[in-house]
Structure 1
Amino acid sequence: MCPCDNSEAVSGPCCPSSLTDEMWEVIRPLLAVRNLRKGGGVRKYGDRLVLDSIFCVLRSGCQWRMLPRDLMPWDAAHRWFTKWRRDGSWDRIYDEQRRQLRIGAGRDPVPSAAVIDAQSIKTNEGGKARGFDAGKRTTGRKRHVIVDTMGLLLVVAVTSASVQDRAGGRTVLARLAATFRTVSFVWADGGYANSVDCTLLSWARDALGIVVEMGT
């Protein structure tokens, strides 16, 4: 069974999306969260149970209110998910894992080159972030992603599928320049420029100091 107290010592995952002991040992040092609530009381739920509950929602796609009862209450899980998003905990965890992977592969801890691409995904939910990608004939959303040369995520932006690659490219390139100042070279495919419109390339070079190279 999953733990329902504050204990962090759990032997093995309680469901497919749960952390293994090996995964938890990697993530635990990266969580700068004290086990005390406001006022000095001991927290009721430990960090590992919080993560297992959040990952259950992310991996299964279920609603927060449909969390299994052997995990933590859905409102508490959502509250911690939001807190860690706002205080940058998720970014710190991923950034440190990426740094360790790059060092383990014999690379510099921070990247100097990257790859940009976009992918349209079908969605059924409405809202302003849903549109039609005429090129891919897909109704939904589009994720604009920049990864390092190992394929590890650097920055991402989600828009309506109707947003062109060049427009979304400006958004993620600007985020890249603000977050990873060491990156000065980015590979892209032909969707980001053509023989008539090369404004994205010149803008990235002049405004951000990033050279965008078109692939074949």
Structure 2
Amino acid sequence: MTKQWKPLTDPQGAAILPFFNLKRKRKYELPHRRTGLIVDIILWLLHTGCQWRNLSPDWPHWQLVYYYFDQWKGDGTFEQINAMLNQMDRQRARREACPFVLYIDSQNIKLHPLIWQDRGFDRHKCINGRKRPLIVDTQGRIWLVGVHAAQQDDGPAAMASVGDLLWRIGERLEKVYGDQVTMAFLLGHYPNGVSILSGPHVPKRLRVLFL
């Protein structure tokens, strides 16, 4: 059962405060002492699936809310917050901040008939919509989510997702588990299981393994 939406508490707002630029004056408050109104509206919209233009007239204009949403999405603010919260939750569970093992899989999602962006037809599952690859750790924390048209194969999307994640997690990641389709693509390009990317933050041994 889906839980009822609730605004962020003061401690929750304080936890994400460092990720927002609060120096510039704004008409509507952002996280500071109390929960930011703009952030609460974005979370409410995410929870309910409401259309942007149907936001309550008691709230700021939808274009203003979307402006901040687009800014924070584009500059990686949401991804930074997600990674920080995952690390804090892992440390609270007496684990290392960054995971050693990750799992990758994808979900097919039907779309509203009026949505056209990133839309396609998956002939295997007969789904007209999008595909959403997810990367989670052993306790189910979501580290990365991608979105693309449903007809795109899992393999190329998995390779891009794992590559993006390597720069955020660091050198501790050594194993990525997935289904046969995804791993066959990765192993076909990297048969020796070597690191998918090169650089100082990429582990020397990144193994892709079948479930």
1:158 & 1:44 partners in 2: Cα distance? 33
- The separation in 2 between residues aligned to 1:81 and 1:75, in whole angstroms, is 10
Contact map agreement 1:185 1:211 (CA 8 A) in 2: yes
Does residue 91 (structure 1) correspond to residue 104 (structure 2)? The answer is no
Please give the alpha-carbon distance, in whole angstroms, between the structure 1 residues aligned to 2:161 and 2:192: 13
**Paired residue for 1:29?**
15
Change (3 A) 1:56 1:104: same
Normalization by structure 1: what TM-score?
0.78
Residue 183 of structure 2 is aligned to residue 190 of structure 1: no
Once the two structures are TM-superposed, the CA of residue 191 in structure 1 deviates from its matched residue by 2.6
- Work out whether 1:71 is the aligned partner of 2:63: no
Q: Take 2:95 and 2:133, find their aligned partners in 1: how far apart are those partners? A: 25
Q: Does residue 1:210 correspond to 2:210, yes or no?
A: no
Structure 1 residues 18 and 206 mapped into 2: Cα distance closer, same or farther (>3 Å)? closer
Is there any run of 5+ residues in structure 2 with no aligned partner, and where?
A: 31-35, 198-204
Q: What does 1:18-167 align with in structure 2 at a 5 Å threshold?
A: 18-21=6-9, 24-32=10-18, 33-37=20-24, 42-47=25-30, 48-123=36-111, 124-127=113-116, 129-167=118-156
Q: Partner of 2:161 in structure 1?
A: 172
Residue 98 of structure 1 and its aligned partner are, at CA, apart by 0.7
Identical amino acids, percent of aligned pairs: 28
Q: Could you tell me how far apart the structure 2 residues matched to 1:62 and 1:207 are?
A: 39
Gap change, CA 1:210 and 1:197, over 3 Å in 2: closer
Q: CA deviation at 1:212?
A: 0.9
- Give the C-alpha shift of residue 138 in structure 1: 1.0
- Cα distance in structure 2, aligned partners of 1:164 and 1:102: 32
Provide the secondary structure at the position in 1 that maps to 2:147.
Answer: strand
Q: 1:155 to 1:202 in 2, by over 3 A?
A: farther
1:151 match: secondary structure? coil
C-alpha change, 1:114 and 1:44, in structure 2 (3 Å) is same
Which residue identity lines up with residue 212 of structure 1 in the other structure? V
Q: Scaled by the length of structure 2, what TM-score is found?
A: 0.80
SS of residue matched to 1:118: strand
Give the conservation status (yes or no) of the 8 Å contact 1:27–1:93: no
Q: SS of 2:14's equivalent?
A: helix
